[in-house]
Structures are given as C-alpha cells and as structure tokens.
Amino acid sequence: MNESRSTKARSKQSKGGKCQRVLRDVRSFHDLASFYRRFIRGFSSIVSPLAKCLKGDKFEWSSAAQASFQRLKECLSEALVLALPDFAKMFEVE
C-alpha cells in the first residue's frame, strides 16, 4: 500500500520524539490528531489530557498530557490496514 508523501512527512515529524511543550506546537499537534480522529479508537479519551492543557489562561504540561501525547503519536504512526472482506470467512464490522 502506498502512502502519500505528506503522510510520510507527518509520520516522520510526529515520531520525532521532541516533547511538545510550547502552546503553539501542542495546539498544532492537537489539530493534526483531530483530523484523523475517526481512525483512532477512543480518540476523545486519549486526547482529553491534551485538551485540558489547552484550556484556560495558564498552559501547564503534565505527566498525563505527556502520556496522551505519546499515545497519540503511536496511534498516528501505525498504518491502517484496509482490505476487502473474504466472504468465505466470518467477519465482524465495527
């Protein structure tokens, strides 16, 4: 399966391991992840610590936000597998 160049570039950027502690960078990452929300199971529960950081007047990076950031990076960098179902076998649509 071929990935587009932009997807590869985003994947490399998100795997960078650089800690997102600047408000602008966190907001940018949150927006990127939100674009792919339909492909990430449990997105709202994963992203909630990041969303809490973005609310209010004071920006505070917590360990929960770091864990959320790491989990989202993993979810975004995993390749989705799309295939036609084999009707000879049992399958379940979620």
Question: Mind listing the pLDDT tens digit for each residue in 15-33?
Answer: 554 455 688 888 999 998 9
How far apart are the C-alpha atoms of 8 and 46, rounded to whole Å?
A: 23
Per-residue pLDDT band for 66 (boundaries 50, 70, 90) equals: very high
> What are residue 10's phi and psi, to 5 degrees?
-65, -40
- CA dist list (Å): 74 to 36, 38, 79, 85: 13, 15, 10, 26
**Each residue's pLDDT tens digit, 38-65:** 888 899 999 999 999 888 888 888 899 9
73 and 65 Cβ atoms separated by less than 8 Å: no
Which pLDDT belongs to residue 34? 92
